[in-house]
Structure 1
Amino acid sequence: MRITSIETIRVAEFANLVWVRLTTDEGLTGIGETYFGPDATEAHIHGVVAPYLLGKDPRDINTHTDYMLGYLGRTGSSAEQRGRSATDIALWDLLGKSLGVPLYQLFGGKVRDRLPIYNTCANMNYNTKPAASHSTFDYGTGQGPARFDDTDAFLKRPVELAGSLLDMGITGMKIWPFDFLGSDVVDGNISTAGLRKGVAAFREIRKAYGDKIDLMCEMHAFWNLPSARRIIEALAEFEPSWVEDPVPLDQMSSLAALQASTPVLIGTGETLGGIGAYKSLIDAKGCGLVIYDVSWSGGIGNARKVAAMAEAAHLPVALHDCTGPVVLAASTHLALATRNCFTQEIARAYYFTWYRDLVTDLPPVENGTITVSGKPGLGLELSPDLFKREDVKVKCSILE
């Protein structure tokens, strides 16, 4: 079996997404996906990955993984890492299809049949447009169907939002009210008034529902160390399951100092890339929950290594969603086969709207849990209708 073509597929409506489709001389295809910086990622796939991978046997994944990175971009979620990650996912999809088995069986099988989900309270337009930097302007608040404008809801109607999630059987929710109180301030400080305003949603939800719903606070690494500590101390009385990305991930010592100062779990790691960065995070004791994104960290092979390192350190892991439907499928396969993974992130505003338009199948969600279908590989394909869209763009490298 040999790879004969490598395609990248993009649509203007969801401009941050890039899909990779590999085709073999036996007619099998594998799909992958990554997110953010699509121009640079696409350039790496066609400029570095394709010249190496075309003509190769797609089943030799361990041989290919380092060659797909290139010379630069080994650390961080670089364009090189994102391009490698998307292609790696497609290779694993191909491997599963060639053997006629779902992805999780390639990992040694599932350790559970279903996994609880938590909802990242985004809306359907959250982060779908290119942005020079991550800020509140790209959150899409007040756009799209009111039923799934969960960002607007946690800012204005947090108790109502929590109730609607519980009605769906979802018992975990992640919100980020502090973003709107400091994300456009370059010094990363939080005022006393902002602190009180930010915790209000957590107080209201706890008062209404007690411990019926788990709460997480996303902090998007907007804060300096003293402000992050103040926010976490203020949240402690509401017993969040974790606080996420309180400070930038460029100084493991800051994360270590922060985690050592509080019993509240810090969850972080999704924007790291390469196994070395995760080893540094774990060795520094910089968090109580290791979070990673399979489409940024180096792909499925790296994700499995990160989970193993965390397990050896007696740490739980969680996989990032809020990207695209292919990543959700890959993450769910990994999560179901990972002993130290206890939950899977979804954004219901994505899952129940545009995710369904882009692929043929999704991992089934029912009563607040998620699983996979059992179909070979990832268990889904890009929708044929995707290629009929006026805003679709396909670029192809072909074996000559």
Structure 2
Amino acid sequence: MGIRDVLSGVGSHYDRKLGTERGVRAQDLLREAPNELVSCVPSGLEIKASGGQGSATFTPWIGFYDPRETVSSQEGIYVVYIFAEDMRSVSLILNQGVSMLKRKHGIEGAIAILESTAQGIVHALPDDLVRRWRVDVDLKSSKSWRQRAYVAGSILVRDYELEDLPSEAELRADLREMVDVYRIAIDIKNRVPGDRGAEAVDRNAANYIANKVVGVRRFEEFKPKDSEAYRVFLKGRALSKGRNHERLVNDFAAHVQRGGFHPATVGASPRDLVVYRDEIEWLVEAKYVAEGNHREAVRQAIGQLLEYRFCLYGKGFYPCLIALFSEDVGDLFRQLLESVEICVIWRQGEEWSGSDRAKEWGFVSR
């Protein structure tokens, strides 16, 4: 199969309600796409495709990555075919990853960075080159933050109606040209100074976040103790773990495994649990809330998650953080945890509940 066959096949058969299982025609085509397209693209690119993880995505995609820049749609610049939600069109986009930015800045800050970076690169590209492409995209979707990020991160775009796709030769020529632009954009991103550079992008994002009304009141009592007190504190925590704690970890591990994630405890110590899916790792710290002492449980969870991330992971790799509780810790503490990019999940009777981030990642449904 060539590019035209793959795009047409996915567009004709994709149905989000059918899920992501093997045997679903469009999902199988997406899984086969990297092997089918390897001869259609310039050498040196990695190819990945997805129709969703766990649940099917609103906008399936096929991505092309230059390893000098990134090998994942989580960060950096990459080329991608993204299908519109109504499955009437597909767009070839020079786009940017959002996941890493979202962990650091939140979704609104990440979108500000994506938009600023896209504008800077477009301004630095030759005008005659830019005129050959669109600079905006409409995926016919407003369903989630991810689709918003695709739009915000788009640098250059070419749209195709699935009922009237160009010839295979034209599609290949467009993709080769986009890859050429991609490699220029990588160089621009790495060298452009001033108001088009990464420092300005980060500054714009910081200003955006600083001026955003988040509706969370400052919790001045949450301050770290001195190092000696902290070491004693951790020892006390280690000694206090018991059956309730282990039951909480084991039950949650079983829950996420049913949801298609891969939990692991062997080799994780002193971490309670790590969870994997595809290229993403989640670091989980579990707290059994004793006698309703939410404050102490939250303090321990924050301190340990940040300590483990700093001490146990290599520079530049940041696992997603999850604080797991035996009960709801209340609105104030949920907001505190989310303000430092820690996802919150808690036991709700026989079920699990969590923050919006937990729902977005697919760990809970409510």
TM category, shorter: under 0.3
If you compute each CA radius of gyration, which structure gives the higher value, 1 or 2? 2
TM-score scaled by length of structure 2: 0.23
Specify which structure has the bigger relative contact order, considering alpha-carbon pairs within 8 angstroms and separated by 6 or more residues: 1
TM-score scaled by length of structure 1: 0.21
